[in-house]
Amino acid sequence: MSSANPQGIQAFPDALTDPDAWLEPFDWYREMRTDAPVRYDPSRNAWDVFRYEDVKRVISDNETFSVNPRIAADFEPADEAGQDMILDTMLFQDPPRHDELRDVVDEAFRARAVAEREPRLRELVDTLLDEAIAANDGEFDLVDELAYPFPVIVIADILGVPADDRAQFREWSDSLVAATSGESGDAIAEQQQESLQEMGMYFLSLIQDRREDPQDDLISRIATAELSDGTPLPQQEALGMCMLLLIAGNITTTNLITNAVRCFENNDLFDELAGDEDAIGTAIEEVLRYRAPVQAMTRIARTDVTLGEESIDEGDRLVAWLGSANRDEQKFDESDQFIVDREPTEHLGFGHGTHYCLGAPLARLEARVALSALLSRFDGLAVAETDLSPTRSSFVYGVESLPLQYSGT
């Protein structure tokens, strides 16, 4: 099967196709860690990996496992250029190409550069919450009003693209992380191609503008970047980089914020955490472990390899279940408990090794700022009674919407 969204190639395993199962996949993970910690699923032509140590190895041992879907035995190139653009980004390239690409934008996402944005982030959250309060009467949807628009506006600011285009960004990002399995799989894959092409055109004109007239923004840096041999970053890679940055940090951060609110509600923590940003920062790490916004990542075996008791062939595809690794009882005490002040852990919520999330400092700051404002500004905050629907993706994990109620501000 080919797909515009190489991570989306991983169709849902049978056990998780039901939306309710995907909302709470953790019992299934536990069974698999015991009964079939490394297992081949013929219906998806992929190996699933569930235990912490195995998952960590699969995502970080670059010599044995590649991020490049092009080396998969069953890889079928799509005709459209959009797929190549995405596959040529750091997320799908192994070292040394990976390192060259990551170096282009690395500095902009380091903790120090990110910390300078904190005042602007606080201002933004306050404005969004003011708008939510003004437009609604005691109830609002956390995703629509804060958790979605906030990270999009932030990355749009960093890149230097008009935040007014954010409705369009949402359409593109949602389409690109959507699962391409199931009845509507082909239609979704087609939609993904369209989104990639539209995004490509959108960024092409911005990159051309910035080459002629560089500004103090990240698109200008990408548009004028040179690689270590002095050659310019090829246009296809510059476009892919912009697209990756726009997609990677949106729905993931949205879900970190909403997953945190669900964890806090379920453990009656709103009052306890309000006003204590350090405690909120610690709690966010536990959310990244307990309800990780990215539950799974794909790799391809570069050589024949034995994992657990299974023999995996070169070119085989593996799905490393970060969400299961994070609940592994061999690694974490009381692994199925949300412990709000748990000592720092080696959770895999942002991955591990070479491909460790570039945006981790930014996502952590965004979540801390958003959650502390949310908990401080409302009295009687609660999640409204509702049926939750999971995010339509087979690797990004969270809910489509989360209505909140409050009694005062």
Written as one letter, the residue type at 224 is T
Written as one letter, the residue type at 87 is L
Which two three-digit tokens encode residue 142? Answer: 């956390």
CB of 137 to ligand HEM, least distance (A): 31
Q: What is the distance between the alpha carbons of residues 352 and 9, in angstroms, rounded to a whole number?
A: 21
| Total residue length of the chain | 409
HSE-CB of 363 using CA atoms within 13 angstroms: 27
Closer residue to ligand HEM, CB minimum distance, 238 or 248: 248
First to last CA, the chain: 51
Written as one letter, the residue type at 311 is S
Q: What is the distance between the alpha carbons of residues 87 and 240, in angstroms, rounded to a whole number?
A: 8
CB of 82 to ligand HEM, least distance (A): 18
Closer residue to ligand HEM, CB minimum distance, 71 or 382: 71
Instruction: Please report which residue ranges of 136-184 form alpha helices under DSSP H.
Output: 142, 149-159, 166-177
Closer residue to ligand HEM, CB minimum distance, 149 or 293: 293
Q: What is the distance between the alpha carbons of residues 271 and 252, in angstroms, rounded to a whole number?
A: 26
Closer residue to ligand HEM, CB minimum distance, 69 or 351: 351
CB of 344 to ligand HEM, least distance (A): 17
Closer residue to ligand HEM, CB minimum distance, 31 or 61: 61
The conformational region for residue 160 under phi > 0 = left, psi -120 to 50 = alpha, else beta, is left
CB of 299 to ligand HEM, least distance (A): 8
Q: Which residue's beta carbon is nearest to the bound ligand HEM?
A: 359
Closer residue to ligand HEM, CB minimum distance, 62 or 405: 62
Closer residue to ligand HEM, CB minimum distance, 132 or 297: 297
CB of 65 to ligand HEM, least distance (A): 10
Closer residue to ligand HEM, CB minimum distance, 223 or 251: 251
Which two three-digit tokens encode residue 100? Answer: 């060259």
CB of 117 to ligand HEM, least distance (A): 12
Closer residue to ligand HEM, CB minimum distance, 52 or 350: 350
- For helices 149-159 and 118-135, what crossing angle results, to 10°? 140
Closer residue to ligand HEM, CB minimum distance, 256 or 383: 256
HSE-CB of 241 using CA atoms within 13 angstroms: 27
Contact between residue 207 and residue 222 where contact means Cβ atoms under 8 Å apart: yes
Written as one letter, the residue type at 242 is C
CB of 244 to ligand HEM, least distance (A): 5
* Binding residues vs ligand HEM (CB under 6 A): 59, 67, 90-91, 102, 155, 244-245, 248-249, 252-253, 256, 293-294, 297, 349-351, 355, 357-359, 362-363
Which two three-digit tokens encode residue 71? Answer: 């080396």
Q: What is the distance between the alpha carbons of residues 254 and 244, in angstroms, rounded to a whole number?
A: 16
CB of 364 to ligand HEM, least distance (A): 8
3-state secondary structure 92-114: HCCCCHHHHHHHHHHHHHCHHHH
- Please list, residue by residue across 154-167, b when 16 or more beta carbons sit within 10 angstroms of its beta carbon and e when fewer do: bbbbbbbbeeeebe
CB of 67 to ligand HEM, least distance (A): 5
CB of 109 to ligand HEM, least distance (A): 6
